[in-house]
Chains A and B, each alone.
Chain A
C-alpha cells in the first residue's frame, strides 16, 4: 500500500540524489547479449546432457518455460550447465543467447523473461507469449572446457487463468470468510460472545471526560500511512467513537491529517458521528484539516499544535513511522493523556514506552468490536481466533512431525537431545 506514497516522494528524491549513480550503473552494464559470451571458443571435452524437454511454465503470465534434462555422463567433472535459447531450431550460431546457468547435478531450469526489448534493442532472452522458443543445454567445467550440445527442445509460453501455487491462500481466504459469516450469523441468532477487555480502549471514555473537565481540546492523529491502509481505516473507527463522545460532551476535536483522501474520509467519519450523537450543528468541517503530505513537516506542525492548543488527550491510531516517538514525547511535554495504537512493528516499542496506553498490533483491529459490543462486529473476532488456533496447531504439529520424520532415520537423535538437555542444565 505504501508503494503509492513512495511513488511520489521517493521517486523524486531518488531521481535527484541518486540519478548519477543509476546512470553510472547503466552505462557500466553492457547488454546481456555481449556480456554473457565467453572470450575464446573453449575446448569441447565432455559428454552432453541428454533428453532435453521444454514445457510452458505453469502459474504465470506467459513468459516462462521450464526445461528438464538428464545429466551428462560426465556430470561429476562439470561445474554447471549453460542454458541457451533462440527463436528457431535452425538459428545460426550467432543468434543463440545464453539464458542462464544451472549448477552441476541439477536436472531442471525455469527461464522467465518479460522484457521484449532492452534499451531499444530486442532482448535475445525474452520469452514471447504464443510463439515457440527453442532451447539447448551444455555442460561447462571450471577450466572453461565444455560438453557437446544437447538436442534442441522447444515450447510455447502461455498465460494461465489460475495460479495453482496459491491454492493455500485461496483456501485460507475462503476458510476465514466462511468462519466470519458463520459467527456473524451465530451472533445475530443470539449466541453470547465474549470479548476480553483491551486496556487502551477502556480508557477512551475516561480520557475524553478528562479533556471535557479541563476544557481543552482532543487531538486525533491518524498517522502517516495512506487513506487505504487497513490500520488507518481501523483508526477511523476509533475516531468515530471519539467524535460521538466529543459531540455529546461538546468538547472540541482536532484531526490534522497528512493526506487529502484521508481528510475526506475523516470528515465523513466525524460528520456522521456528530449526526448520530444528535448534534450535527456542532460539527465544523475545519476540525479535520490537512497539513502536509510529507512526514516530518506534518510532525513539526502537529507538535506545535499540541503545545499551542494544550490538548488534554492525544490519540494516535493508524500507521506510524519514525514520528511515533516525536509525537508521543511532545505530547507528554504538554501534559496530555495519550492513547496509541499501530500495526507497525518497529514503532510499537516507542509507543509502549512513551504513551499511557498502547494497542499492540492486532488489538487496534479488535478495538472496533470492543467499542461497539455489537454481535456483528464480535463474530469476526471469533473467526480470527479460530484461525489463530489453526495456526498454532500447524506450528506445533508441523514441528513435531518434521522432527519425528528425521529421527526415524536417525535413532541416535533421541539420545543426543537428552544429553544436550542434560548438558545445558
Chain B
C-alpha cells in the first residue's frame, strides 16, 4: 500500500522527534532542546484538555450541575483554595486542602498495606516443608527471607548474630537486584528495536515515494 504524502508528513514529524530524542545520547544539543521544550508544551496542553474533558467533566461538572450532588461543592471549594498559592500572603490557606489530601491518602494506605503486603506475603511464605528438592529450596528461601528482613532492623547495631544474618540478607537482596536488572534488558531492547524498525520503514517509504 502506497502511503500518502500527508501520512508521510505526519510520520516525518514522528521520525524527527525520534531522532531528536536520540541525539541526547551524544550530549545536550539544540536539536534535543527544541524537541524537549516543544514536547513539554504539547504534553501540558494535552494533559489539560484530557483532564478537562474527562476528569473535570465527570467528577465536577456532571456531579454538581447535572446530577445535583451538591456535596461535591466541598472538594471543589478545597480545590479552588489551592489557587491561593499564587498569593504569598494567603498561600497557607491551601494547607487545608493539602491536609485532606494527605489524610485521605494515608488513611486508605494503612489497612490496605497490612492486608495486601504483609498478610498476603506471609500467607505465601508459610507452607509446610516437603521432603524433597523443592523442600530444600523452600528452606533456603525462608532463610533468605528472614535474613533479608533482619537487614532492615534499624534499632539494633548489626553485630553478632544479627550482623551475620543481615549480611546474609543483603547478599540475598543483591542476588534479587542482579536478577531484576538482568531480566529487564530483554524488554528494553525490544523497545529499541521497534524504534529502529520504525526509522528504517519510514526511510524506505519516503525514498520509495520520492524515487
Report A's interface with B, CB cutoff 8 A. 1, 7-9, 11-12, 166, 168-170, 172-173, 193-196, 198, 226-230, 233, 260-261, 264-265, 267-268, 285, 291-294, 297, 300-301, 303-304, 307-308, 330, 333, 345-346, 348-350, 352-353, 360-363, 366, 369-370, 378, 381-382, 384-385, 388, 391-392, 394-396, 398-399, 402-403, 405-406, 413-414, 416-417, 420-421, 424
Contact = CB atoms under 8 A, between A and B. Distances in A.
Contacts, number: 185
B111 interface: yes
Nearest to A198: B154
Contacts of B88: 285
Nearest to A326: B24
15 contacts: A166-B111, A166-B115, A169-B115, A172-B118, A173-B110, A194-B155, A227-B98, A261-B101, A285-B88, A350-B181, A352-B177, A392-B146, A394-B126, A403-B128, A424-B133
A258 to B, nearest CB: 10
Contacts of A293: 43-44, 47
A349 B126 contact: no
Interface of B is mostly: helix
A71 B146 CA distance: 45
B61 interface: no
Given A267-B85, A420-B132, A1 B105 contact: yes
B173 interface: yes
Interface of A is mostly: helix
B154 A228 contact: no
Given A194-B156, A291-B40, A308-B28, A406 B105 contact: no
A150 to B, nearest CB: 34
A193 B155 contact: yes
Which 8 pairs from chain A and chain B are nearest by CB?
A: A228-B105, A398-B126, A416-B131, A307-B28, A349-B177, A402-B128, A417-B131, A349-B180
Interface string B129-140: 101110110000
Nearest to A388: B149
A230 B33 CA distance: 33
B24 A303 contact: yes
A228 B155 contact: no
Contacts of A294: 43, 47
Contacts of B91: 267
Nearest to A177: B110
A264 B66 CA distance: 31
A350 B127 CA distance: 32
Contacts of B72: none
A307 B33 CA distance: 11
Given A349-B180, A395-B145, A413-B131, A228 B28 contact: no
Contact of B32 (A304, A381, A391): A304
Contacts of B160: none
A297 B155 contact: no
A8 B50 contact: yes
A95 B133 CA distance: 55
Contact of B54 (A11, A292, A417): A11
Given A230-B109, A264-B82, A173 B36 contact: no
A424 B27 CA distance: 54
Nearest to A176: B114
Contact of B154 (A172, A333, A381, A391): A381
Contacts of B55: 7-8
A1 B158 CA distance: 34
A281 to B, nearest CB: 13
Given A173-B111, A293-B47, A194 B118 contact: no
B165 to A, nearest CB: 10
A383 B95 CA distance: 30
B108 interface: yes
B197 interface: no
B181 A8 contact: no
Find the residue from A195, A285, A292, A394 having the highest chain B CB count within 10 A: A292
B51 interface: yes
Nearest to B82: A264
A233 B102 CA distance: 9
Given A294-B43, A402-B128, A424-B133, A194 B85 contact: no
